[in-house]
Structure 1
Amino acid sequence: MKRSRFSSRKRISADATELSRLAIGLAESGSKMEDQFWQGRLVELVNRLFHDGTEDDFTSALDRLFDAHPMAHDDLADIIEANAESCVVRHGGQDFDILLLAAPVLAWSRFSIPTSTIPRSTLQALKVHLGAHVLAADARLAVADYLYSPDQLPHTFVDTWQMMRQLGKAALEGTDLSVDAAAMPETNRFLSDTRYLLGAVVVPHPLPIFHWNESPKSSRETVQKEWLRQGGPCFEPLLTGCAYQPLLADAYHAACRAADSASRPYSLDASVAFLQGALGLSPENLRAVVGAFHDQRLEEFRVGFGPRDSELIFHGVVWPLLGIEDENSDVAGEIETTLRKAGVKEVLVLDQQFPYEFCDDCGAPLYPNADGETVHAEMPEQDNTPSQTLH
């Protein structure tokens, strides 16, 4: 889990203090046997807090460990995530493993990228292809009948745990989860964004969960190819007017992280295609300006797009840092490589540090131009223009 918080020094509860103590014990353990001792105590406490719905204890413990003991922070985060997305339950006299799944889809469009209820026929087709190409032979699957935006995913560890339990129960009972679309929060509109199919897989404990677990001839790469080829077309009626790219279905947190990572180069490719289609600017006639934006540390890179023969910035992309990336990572090099593969010949990577600022009036990110200034991205007047920021 990305350590993305700055420490809080407020008083924390006894349970949060105990989470911190146990996590430090695990981080400082010197043997596998001692690891198992600390992990057992942590799992017991974490599961009790999930049942109690005590999200604040998780947040307080992670905040306290962020600076004080980074290794303990990461160990605790791993255990909280694992128990939010999976569990073992007793059903019909047998133990079953439940795992929350996400199948991300990257998409971009000049129009709105849909979030919507999934028709029954489409839902069944997606389940068939997940079962045939991604999941193990003995797996049962339940899927939520809604295509989620990032804003609509579970916001907290407790929310994620509750979603896992709901979908797991549905899988054990042979049903799916019906989502009230009218009750879902509105989502922000971006040119490029991710949509998620959520489900839960249930297998008898301790049988394989995924196809690549049970067959020596299978791998994640071969499974992904079949999922894209067979399952990918099922998303077409859900993403009308969009270009899209499905990613491999995986455990919830791993799939979300993979989508966050893949969405960054996808956003740059989408930007180039968008500007070519909307304004007739071919990639070789574009200029991309890359700048690093800092708060207390390097937070993200921003890329401003404009005509090669002008200082104007028509469009912008935010490339956030993920995981262990920092000032020592060659993120700028990765951005430049992606842009050149997309056909952009003029890429300016600026050396200066930009302040982590947004427009005071509208809150939009400001993007670097060739003069080293931060400016609004402003498209020429046209109809049906979405936000000039890619998510």
Structure 2
Amino acid sequence: MAGFRPKSSARLSPDAERLVADALALDASGSRMEDGYWERRLSQRLHRLLKNGSQTALDAALEHLFKHNADASDVLAEQAETLAESATIEVDGAKLDVLLIAAPILAHTRYAIPSGALKPELAQTLAVHLQAHVLATGTKVALSPYLYSIDQLPRSHSDTFALTHKLATAALAGTMPKVDLRDLPETAPILADPRYLLAVVVAPHEGALFRWQEDAKEHHAERSVCLEQWRQQVQPTVALLLPGCEFELLLPDAFFLSCRESDKSIRPLTVRAAVNYLCGTLDVPAGQLAAVVAGFGEEVVEEYRVGFTMRGEKEVIYGIVWPVYGREAGEADAEEKGNPVEQICEELRNAGVEDIFRHAALFDPEYCEDCGTPLYADRSGEIVHAELPEDAPTQQPLFH
């Protein structure tokens, strides 16, 4: 998910070249005043491209900078995310600020984690609680009537831009958003995965968006208080949406930040859910399982894939993906404690898996041509499909 790491051709278009030049200039700026000049110039170019749905030039510029100047790449990515998830608009002569927010739900189960359309009354209930416990007094809100999986979130900055403005229109009109959900992809059957509620908040220009920003004593609340109230109030409603699942609610916040934080937070749960699933399905203790950890990516590590085997056997019977973000990609060979491989191994050991093999090589991120699932490295370095033993239960009850 966020931020997007696109693929591009070697030759840059004129629009992409201008984005690269402005991002490099902004990164090299020596004063806050000069920053403002380059930010305005870069924002004008980005706004035009995002409004027209022209993602290609932005993708190419991000990919070029990612390879040649990581700091400028971060600058361009931050500007693109800001324009995709937020806006300042004018309505009847009044300026208003708009922000797309995500309310993440970390869910895990032995069955299937639902996603899909929300009943209107449930969507309304969630919007009311969002307004009452998280958003600033006097703001307007529109909540998309859908429980999103990662696969169903906007796939690009231009898609995010379009959703932000569509929800803003509904918030200003006080109506239920009409979002075209027909072409959203199916959700991958993962045992631990985030789900998201998406909404837009509209506030007076430069006014408070969230309750923790407010100065008034009767309304101000710390983030921790807002999170506790949010959890208490919406727990029963979310439980209706996720039967058969355990879940944790994170604090609603700006779209890209929330998505990144939830992606990171779900990773340890993914390891534990996989071990619990295999122990329950195969009726074995965790100590009889082994794990093979390998980095996958085209030039740098973009994700680690963990293939599970029975101890002493070669066949990969199950697998999970541990994505990496930002500078984590450069920590693959780091010896200090806390790099991604050490985190994965620690979670495996905490779950009871002691036999852990780590590959030093970087593997191409291959997927099954038939079902689209990731392929995993076995202990010998062969890239294989994960398959449960033939005598394992193949049908699990599904909760929708």
Superposition TM-score tier, normalisation by shorter sequence: 0.7 to 0.9
Unaligned 5+ segments in structure 2 are none
8 A contact 1:136–1:209 mirrored in 2: yes
Alignment-derived partner of residue 302 in structure 2: 299
User: Equivalents in 2 of 1:174, 1:140: separation in Å?
Assistant: 8
AA matched with 2:29: S
Q: Tell me which residue corresponds to 2:395.
A: 384
Q: Work out whether 1:175 is the aligned partner of 2:206.
A: no
- Judge conservation of contact 1:6–1:67 (CA < 8 Å) in 2: no
Aligned to 1:152: 152
CA separation in 1, counterparts of 2:7 and 2:184?
A: 30
Q: Alignment partner of 2:358: what SS?
A: strand
Pairwise mapping of residues 235-246 of structure 1 onto structure 2 (< 5 A)?
235-246=238-249
Partner of 1:320: 323
Matches within 5 A, 1:356-371: 356=364, 358=366, 362=370, 364-369=373-378
Seen in structure 2, the aligned counterparts of structure 1 residues 138 and 151 have a Cα distance that, compared at 3 Å, is: same
Q: CA deviation at 1:165?
A: 0.5
1:224 aligns with 2:227: yes
Distance in structure 2 (CA, Å) of the matches to 1:359 and 1:38? 41
Counterpart of 2:363 (choices 338, 342, 355) is: 355
**Residue 93 (1) aligns with residue 93 (2):** yes
Report the CA distance between 1:130 and its aligned residue.
1.3
Give how far 1:268 is off.
Answer: 0.8
Q: Which residues in structure 2 correspond to 1:81-120 (within 5 Å)?
A: 81-120=81-120
Deviation at 1:351, TM superposition (A): 5.0
- Describe the shift of the 1:82–1:361 C-alpha distance in structure 2 as closer, same or farther (beyond 3 A): closer
- Structure 2 residue aligned with 1:389: none
Which residue of 1 is the match for residue 191 of structure 2?
A: 191
C-alpha change, 1:185 and 1:326, in structure 2 (3 Å) is closer
Write the letter of the residue equivalent to 2:126: L
In 1, distance between residues paired with 2:119 and 2:304? 39
Find the residue that maps to 1:53 and give its secondary structure.
coil
Give TM-score scaled by structure 1 length: 0.88
Deviation at 1:272, TM superposition (A): 2.1
CA deviation profile, 1:102-142 (whole Å, cap 9, x unmatched): 11223234444322211122112211221222211222110
Alpha carbons of structure 1 residues 69 and 227: separation in structure 2 relative to 1, 3 Å: same
The one of 227, 233, 236 aligned to 1:233: 236
- Whether the 8 Å contact between 2:301 and 2:362 is mirrored in structure 1 is no
Which stretch shifts more, 107-116 or 332-341?
107-116
- Cα separation, 2, equivalents of 1:358 and 1:45: 35
Corresponding residue SS for 1:22: helix
Partners of 2:347 and 2:116 lie apart in 1 by 31
Match of 2:144, SS state, is strand
- Aligned match for 1:337, one of 346, 366, 372: 346
Q: Which amino acid aligns with 2:235?
A: G
Other structure's SS at 2:327 match:
coil
Partner of 2:138: 138
Pairwise CA distance, 1:338: 2.0
The CA distance in 2 between the partners of 1:198 and 1:166, in whole Å, is 12
Show the counterpart of 1:277: 280
Question: Is 1:256 matched up with 2:259?
Answer: yes
Q: Deviations over 1:56-77 (max 9, x none)?
A: 2212322332223322222111
Q: Give 1:43 deviation, angstroms.
A: 1.5
Please say if 1:29 is aligned against 2:32: no
Return the alpha-carbon distance in structure 2 between the equivalents of residues 148 and 277 of structure 1.
28
Change (3 A) 1:158 1:12: same
Q: Which moved more, 1:215-224 or 1:194-203?
A: 215-224
Would the alpha carbon gap of residues 206 and 54 (structure 1) be closer, same or farther in structure 2, given more than 3 Å must change? same
TM-score relative to the length of structure 2: 0.86
- 1:53 Cα deviation (Å)? 2.7
Q: CA deviation at 1:21?
A: 1.9
Aligned 8 A contact 2:5 2:63 in 1: no
Distance 1:194 1:298 in 2: 22
CA distance in 2, matches of 1:62, 1:359: 24
CA distance in 1, matches of 2:40, 2:131: 32
1:86 positional shift:
0.5
**Paired position in structure 2 for 1:10:** 11
State the one-letter code of the partner of 2:106: L
| Structure 1 gap ranges (5+) | 387-391
Q: 1:12 to 1:250 in 2, by over 3 A?
A: same
After TM superposition, give the deviation of residue 246 of structure 1 in Å. 2.5
**CA spacing shift, 1:288–1:233, aligned 2, 3 Å:** farther
Check conservation: 1:98, 1:202, Cα contact below 8 A.
yes
Residues in 2 aligned to 1:206 and 1:280: alpha-carbon distance in whole angstroms: 58
Residue 312 to residue 120, structure 1, CA distance change in 2 (3 Å): same
In the TM superposition, residue 348 of structure 1 has moved relative to its aligned partner by: 1.5
> Secondary structure, in 3 states, of the residue corresponding to 1:138?
coil
**Runs of at least 4 residues off by over 4 Å:** 308-312, 359-364, 368-375
Residue 32 of structure 1: how far off its partner (Å): 0.7
SS at match of 2:100: strand
CA distance in 2, matches of 1:45, 1:357: 33
Partner of 1:298: helix, strand, or coil?
Answer: coil
- CA gap of 1:315–1:165, structure 2 versus 1, over 3 A, is same
* Partner SS state of residue 88, structure 1: strand
Task: Say if 2:22 and 2:41, in contact at 8 Å, map to a contact too.
Answer: yes
